[in-house]
Amino acid sequence: MTGTFEIGDIKVKPGEVGKGSVARFRLGDSQEIKVPAIVVNGAKEGKTLLVTAGVHGREVCGIGALLDAVKRMDPDKMSGRVIAVTVANPLAVSLGTYITPHDSVNLSSPIFEPPNPAGSVTPRMAAGIRKALDACDYLIDMHANPLPSMPFVIMCQSIARSDEIRKEARRFAEAFGVTVIEMIKTAPVSMRDFATYMGKPGITPELAGNFFLWDSITSVGTRGILNCAKAIGILPGEPEPQAGVDPILRGNFVFHGMLRSNTGGFLKVHKKPGEFIREGDHVATILDCYGDVLQEVMMPTDGYCWAFLGGNLPQSWVLTEGDNIAYVFKKAN
Ligand SMILES: [Zn+2]
């Protein structure tokens, strides 16, 4: 039997579910805000999986996926435990912003930097989440892209310090059940990279449809989380194939770079997420207010786009010069 597990203000016995928080802080009106967490503590000993959602406040579908996954976990049948930080950045999530407006900090960074519980409000959230990261063996950090995009998983094998962790990082990433893309790094820039560097395979699933808790979007994340928990022996049973996801590409893929606008204007896109595009093919056109072409956007490599961003305005393809248009990935050499 495992002993009582403690994290933040949660204490949970084997075979039970505990709800509470990993960090607390007060807003200007003096009221307390929590970084909420659920611990599903298995009756038997095993690995610890940390799943975080809502690190970026616009990526709400990962929260829906995680809440559904936790509901489907029976601690009596589990070996090990799942720590679910369901709303990692409650301030950004409440306001629908990518980063915390109160101190303009992206929560992704301070989680892997030296903990700073005396810092501004985002490092204070991060210090609580970092304790959960220190306690885990594996990490799933749920993120999402706006539509149109394809669901996929980012891993960072390149930063692992042993062949064993490199191999396990891929096995864990593939268990999620969608396309896997390597983000080549030499130093950590995210919780995923830092976890993998520390010998705890970490992945970033990117669901398709950031703002929406729509069953067809969240169910991919729910199944992926449950699949990963099965692959590392926390849940009984074998991973199940994803249903209704198109495309799921098999093979070794790497991030190539961004497509960017060199002018302001109206974006027209000619391709779909996950569609194979040859180098030099016409991906998009930027038009001026008279319908004249300002920029033709060409594919820089044989590869694919995982999402068309259309700049910084949510859900609008109106570009300012220098805005990002799409993420490009390709087969690894
Ligand atoms: Zn994100």
Domains of the chain, by residue range, sit at 5-231, 256-331
Closest by Cα among 22, 91, 12 to 50? 22
Which among 273, 292, 286 is positioned nearest to 320, based on CA atoms?
286
Ligand 1 geometric centre to CA of 292 (Å): 35
Residue 132's closest CA among 198, 48, 71? 48
Q: How far is the CA of 145 from the centre of ligand 1 (A)?
A: 7
- How far is the centre of ligand 1, averaged over its atoms, from the C-alpha of 61 (Å)? 11
Token pair 């959602």 is at which residue? 53
Contact 67, 254 (CB under 8 A): no
Cα 55 to ligand 1 centroid, rounded to whole Å: 7
pTM attached to this predicted model: 0.97
Q: Token pair of 15, please?
A: 């075979």
Residue 40 C-alpha to ligand 1 middle, in angstroms?
25
Number of residues written out for the chain: 333
Q: 206 φ, ψ to 5°?
A: -115, 100
pLDDT of residue 312: 77
Q: Report how far ligand 1's centroid is from the alpha carbon of 60 (Å).
A: 10
- Cα 185 to Cα 41, 80, 192, 323, distances in angstroms: 33, 30, 11, 24
pLDDT at 2: 53
Q: How are the residues of the chain apportioned to helix, strand and coil, as percentages rounded to the nearest 5? A: 25, 35, 40
Q: Which helix (H) or strand (E) holds 224?
A: helix 215-231
Please give the distance, rounded to the nearest whole angstrom, from the Cα atom of residue 144 to the centre of ligand 1.
6
Q: Give 228-251 pLDDT, tens digit per residue.
A: 999 999 999 999 999 999 999 999
Q: How many other CB atoms are there within 10 angstroms of residue 309's CB atom?
A: 23
State the pLDDT at residue 1: 46
Distances (CA, A) of 37 to 10, 11, 82, 86: 8, 11, 10, 6
Distance 289 CA to ligand 1 centre (A): 32
Q: Which residues, given as ranges, of the chain have pLDDT below 70?
A: 1-2
What is the DSSP-derived secondary structure letter of residue 146?
P
Separation of alpha carbons 53 and 69, rounded Å: 12
For ion ligand 1, residues whose CB falls within 5 Å: 56, 59, 143
- Residue 178 alpha carbon to ligand 1 centre in Å: 17
CA of 298 to the centre of ligand 1 (A): 26
- pLDDT for 311 equals 79
Amino acid 333: pLDDT: 81
Distance, in Å, from the CA atom of 159 to the CA atom of 185, rounded to the nearest integer, reads 6
d(CA 134, CA 249): 33
Our measurement of the distance from residue 56's CA atom to the centroid of its chain's CA atoms, rounded to an integer in Å, reads: 9
C-alpha distances in angstroms, 81 versus 4, 55, 168? Answer: 11, 21, 19
Q: Could you tell me which CATH class the domain 5-231 is placed in?
A: alpha beta
Distance 59 CA to ligand 1 centre (A): 6
Q: Is the alpha carbon torsion for 131, 135, 138, 142 positive or negative?
A: negative
Within 10 Å of residue 102's Cβ, how many Cβ atoms?
A: 16
CATH for 256-331? 2.40.50.100
- Centre of ligand 1 from the C-alpha of residue 212, in Å: 14
